[in-house]
Structure 1
């Protein structure tokens, strides 16, 4: 069986090489805008045969959704998604032994999986927006939330062939400046793939595996192709100088003192949403540790110009969308503040609440509820020293299965107003700390307890009575009649 699969694998690798040559000889657009996608099933499981696209064809999101739907309708419902940060065709042609040098291949486990699989699908050119939406498409089809895992966590999980599961394994990629480092990282990623597939094999659960990336690895292609032409070295030097200037600019922004202006969203000529925070950061749990990313400098301060497309506001609803790029390995990342305003009969006034705070990344949404703790009168702004979901949380994940349980959001010294903004300035702030804080309540209760103890002691002392007769030791003893 294995010898029969070997020519098939060589044809796949040669197909990658053919696509690479066609894209450089007959350019149909920017070849750096596509990533490959490989799909296969476990040994013994099969999916309907699908025809790969012709050479030079770029698979867009709708066509990719059709491929995935056909594969998941009749294939295994346990999906293992290996999502690499960056990947391009060049990674297979340079490191996959596509031209016969199999001893130098960094994909032995991937090749072994393809040989043992009875069904496979190779899409050499998928647009990166389509690959970014792979998680969302699989999630909608399986109706289950993604589980971000590592091999150690997978070994403790027990899967069931009758219930659907989406297991996501994030894989890193080299920075492209060093070919050896990129090769080593790809080799380590292949070892992770081998470990995961070995664990899946021990559980005897059929699965569908997908290997793709969030964006193309431009660094690898630029080194390999620019090195052979004049100006390649100068292009690399120019890129290094640009990165150095960008790091210097960010350092100066962070060190610049002073108070910066809030984020302002306008509907026409009128300002309807204001947001300010001293610190804004997010963290994600990966491999048992938290990875942090500070968004303060890219959101507030001089020189920061956050993208607000997708924001909206009216008299009853307000939505502020902060758009970012390349946050914790996610090419597309959004922070969405969803606010509403309504009239409450009990208090006989209108209040605004921060209903949800959503993190949208690469087609996945993590939702926090904040309506129970984050609110203010409609004509006021809301201000709080700290809004988090893990330390005295004011933000709560929507459910136990929501991806929000793998995230931490921290807003320090935040002030936000989504309604009744006048002259582009915050209204009077309603602070999240009430008049009777926990410390004040503790002091009052302790004082009340001490007053009660003192009152009881004084009452006991006042009940004491002095004797009205005294015994003289030199005289006869006093006789007290029983009748008295």
Structure 2
């Protein structure tokens, strides 16, 4: 019997780049005459379907994750302790890549399907009057900053469900797979691990929050900038790095609006040359407004798109210029009107800052800009929406600087080609030629 570690190390060597492909792990609790699955190369759906239909187990438990990669096993070796023991102590098989493995549940005619309520596993029962029961367990995982924690929760769910199945029957089989290998969205990036020795990677500072009606993600902590008065009227910029935010959402504000508040407390940045700033509280209030379908739509109450406005930034604290202390309590409006997306799409921007246009500043320290790195947000989510961002509606315009550069260079090369063809076409044809049967041409060369 091959161990899980050997199988997964072999699986890492196989490239699984297809969006709808995923690894498949199958293990059995009893002896079976079914032919074992090959570990490498990737197998077809028909092979796995034939294998599962040939099992003599009374129950087949199929765990389906939103995303599963072979890197989940090699990159987080301690995330699946229960699965490792279960897999290695049973007859097992593994394939690192298969196209649409989650669709097999619809092709297994030998089983009667039962969808498992993960919140009420104890009520799980075998299907009445069926020789074989297929238990479908949809795992609400997420490839975000806390991927290891999500995998550990998956491992605990697998252990809980299998414990219940073992109490119902001694003949069972199990399968773990995913809907695809990559999740949509720029924020969902894989960590690159080198085979060579390297320093300990820095902690992931990204933050994802599922607020029920709104998804929000930042790849790094937010940054707030202040404009600081200096000598002779000159002003400088004071950068203040904010830590992780706390989120609060009002999903039931109305049918066409939702509100999310990001809060930071007790921020003490490094002192400026002339000032010391302490921010007791910072609140960023995001108000999402829905645009409904037109009158020609049979469902007039359906949300067609959403925008993010108005947005206000409120901050309070104390400012000390080493001579006197001033209490500040200000509210700044921000223009987020260009943050919008169609329904079921998410807005994304890799590097974006929202500035406040000011003239003739009189404050010694005044707010100037807010940066939300890797900002991605999606609002007005349905109750049955998957815990993944929809397709990204990116803030980058289609004609980016590299595209304009390529078009400009192509235009120059085209002009050179046209000019070359015009030069060739302007070469005159000789109006007289030498006849070998007649008198040779005589060109006098006397001066």
Greater fraction strand: 2
TM-score (norm 1): 0.42
TM-score w.r.t. the length of structure 2 is 0.45
Structure with higher helix content: 1
